[in-house]
Amino acid sequence: MATTISQIKDNEATRQKKNLTASQKKTADATKEGVVVNNLVKTPDMCNMCDTMIISDNIKLPEKLSEKEDSSKKSLIPISLIATGAMASIALMSLLVRRSAKINLTLSEAQKIEPLQRNLSINKETDQAIFQMVSCTNQKTILAGTGVLAISAMGFMGKMFIQGFKDIWVKKQEANIEKNLQENLIAVETQSFSGKIQIMRSMLSQKAKEFDKFFASHSDSAKPSFKGNNDIKKPNNQQKNDNLKYFAMGALTLGAIIGLTFLTLKNLTKGKVYLEKTIVDKKSKISQLVEKSTSKSNVAEKENLKNLFQSIDASSNYIKEQLAKLKWTNKSEREAFIDETCFNVKKSTAKPDKAFAGDGTPKPSFYSHVDDYRAFFYNYLLDSSNPVFKNLFFGITGITAVSYMGNTLGEGVKEVQVKKMNAQTELSLQKRLVSTELRNFKAKKDADINPLCDEFYTQAQKGKSKQELKIMADNILSEIKNGPPFVYS
C-alpha cells in the first residue's frame, strides 16, 4: 500500500525553497518524503497496537468535519439577473430616445441645444505632417513631413535603447541585492533552525526526566502537569495604548469635521451677502447706462446691457422695466432689443465660437494643436533660412532629450534604491519573525505531545503494565523527535 505524504506548511522551508529551480525543489521534496517515511513508516511488531500508537479509547471527530456547505444558492440566478438587467437598460435607453424626440417637437428656440459639429483635433506632430502632405502636397510639405517621420523613428529607437539600458542595469543591481539578501538570511535561517532543534531537545530532556521519575517511583497516583512551558516571553501588549490613540484620533477627526462644517456654513453665509451686494452694484450700473442713453443706440451700449442682465440672471419683467426707460427714438428698435435680451438671458445654452466648434453644419472640420518638439523641426524644414526656427529646434529638442534621459536614469536609480530598502525591510522582518516562528513551533509541539502525555497517565491509572507504559513513553519521545511540525536539515 502506498503511503501518501501531505505537504506541510513551514516558514523556514518556504524561505529555503524561494529561489530554488524546479529540479532542486523536486529533489528537496523527494528527500523530505524519504525522511518522513523512514521515521514514521515502521514495521509492526507483536506489541499492542493501541499502546504503540497511543490510541485513546474514545476520541470524537472534530465538529468542523461534519459541517456542510450551504449550496442552495443557484448559480444561474446572477447570470439571469445580469442579462435581464442589461436588456432592461437598453429598453430604458430606447424609451429615453423616444421621449427626447417627442420633447424636441415642443421645445422653444431658447430651450433647444445648439447643433454640434464634428471637429477633428490633430494633436500629434506626425499626424499633422501626414495631413499636410496629403492635403497640401508640395515640395516643402513633403520634405518637412519626411524629416519629421525620420526624426520620429530616431527618437523611438533612442528611447528603446535608453529604456533597455536602464532595465538591464536595474536587473543586474536587483540580482546583486537578492544575493546579498540571501547571504544575510543564512544567519536568520540558522537561528530559526537551531531554535527549533533546541526546543525539541529541551522537550525530550524534560519528558524523559518525567518518565524516568515515574518509572522509578512506580507511583500511578501522581500525575505531572503537561501544559507546556509558559516561560516563553510574549511581546508587549500595546492594545490599550493603541485604543487610546484611536479614540483620540477619532475625537480630533470628529472635532475637525464639525469645525470645518461651521466654517463652511459661515463662508456660504458671507458669500451670499457678497453676492447680493454684487447684484445691487450691477443693477445700479444698469440704471446708470439707461440714464446716460441717448436718442441713438450704439453697439457697445447694447453689449454692456446684455452682459449685465446676463450676469445677474435678470427676470423678463425687470429687463422690460429697465429697457423701457431707454431714450432711443426708434421704438421698434427698442422693442426688438428688449425681445432679443430676454431671449438671450433665458436661453438654455450658448453658441460656441466658430474657431472651436465650427459653424454648426454637419460637416467635419480640422484644426491642429500640437505640443511636440518635432513641430519645431517641421517649422525649421519649412523655412530653413530663418535662424529662429533653427535655434528653437535645437534648444527644445536638446532639453527634451536631456530631460528624458535624466528622468529615465533617475527612475532606474530610484528603483534600485527602493529594492535595496525593500531587501533591508525583508531582512529585518525575517529577523523579527524568528521569535514568532519559534513560539509557533513550540505551541504546535505542545498541542501534539500534551494529549499523548495525558493519555499515558490515563492508561497508567487504568492499570496498564510497566512494559506497556514503557512502549507508550518511548513512542511519545519518538513523536517529540519526529512528529509534526517537521524540521528538515
Helix spans in 107-138 (H): 125-135
Determine the pLDDT at residue 369: 73
| Amino acid 33: pLDDT | 66
- Nearest Cα neighbor of 318 from 351, 292, 279, 273 is 279
| DSSP structural state of residue 4 | P
Q: Is 335 a domain residue?
A: no
For CA atoms 248, 252, 254, 255, the dihedral sign is positive
Residue 378, in any domain of the structure: yes
Residues 6+ apart with CB under 8 A from 361: 117
Instruction: List alpha helices for 293-371, DSSP H.
Output: 299-311, 316-323, 331-346, 354-357
288: which strand partners?
none
Q: How many domains does the chain have?
A: 2
Residues 140, 34 share a domain: no
Per the domain annotation, does 178 fall within a domain? yes
pLDDT of residue 20: 61
pLDDT value for 225:
45
Which residue is associated with the grid cell 491509572? 461
- Co-location of 378 and 482 in the same domain: yes
Contacts of residue 203, Cβ cutoff 8 Å, sequence gap at least 6: 445, 449, 480
Q: What is the mean pLDDT of the chain?
A: 77
- Mean pLDDT confidence for 451-479: 88
pLDDT of 267 above 80: no
pLDDT confidence of residue 24: 62
Q: Which residue has the higher pLDDT, 40 or 479?
A: 479
In a domain, 248, yes or no: no
% of the chain at pLDDT higher than 90: 0
Residue 211 · residue 453 · CB < 8 Å? no
Does any domain span residue 132?
Answer: yes
* CA-only gyration radius of the chain, Å: 43
Length of the chain: 489
Q: Within 41-75, where are the H helices?
A: 49-53
**Is residue 252 domain-resident?**
no
User: Which residue would you say has higher pLDDT here, 409 or 347?
Assistant: 409
Per-residue pLDDT at 51: 66
Q: How far apart are CA 371 and CA 124, in angstroms?
A: 8
Buried b (16+ CB within 10 A) or exposed e, 31-45: ebeebbeeeeeeeee
Q: So what's the pLDDT on residue 262?
A: 80
> What phi and psi, each to the nearest 5 degrees, are found at residue 175?
-65, -40
Q: DSSP code of 474?
A: H
Place of cell 520620429: 152
pLDDT score recorded for residue 402: 84
Asked whether residue 104 carries a pLDDT value surpassing 60, the answer given is: yes
Per-residue b or e along 195-207, where b marks 16 or more CB atoms closer than 10 Å to that residue's CB = bbeebbeebeeeb
Work out the pLDDT band at 46, boundaries 50, 70, 90. very low
Full domain range(s) for residue 29:
10-40
Q: Which residues contact 272 (CB under 8 A, 6 or more apart)?
A: none
Let me know if residue 484 belongs to a domain.
yes
Local confidence band at 4 (pLDDT 50, 70, 90 cut-offs): very low
Kindly indicate the confidence band of residue 233, based on its pLDDT and cuts at 50, 70 and 90: very low
- Residue 142 banded pLDDT, cuts 50, 70, 90: confident
CA gap 121, 370 in Å, rounded = 9
pLDDT-based confidence at 360, cuts 50/70/90?
A: low
- Which one has a higher pLDDT value, 37 or 414? 414
pLDDT at 67: 66
Q: C-alpha grid cell for residue 198?
A: 533546541
Let me know whether 132 and 29 are in one domain. Answer: no
pLDDT above 50 for 435:
yes
Q: Is residue 150 part of a domain?
A: yes
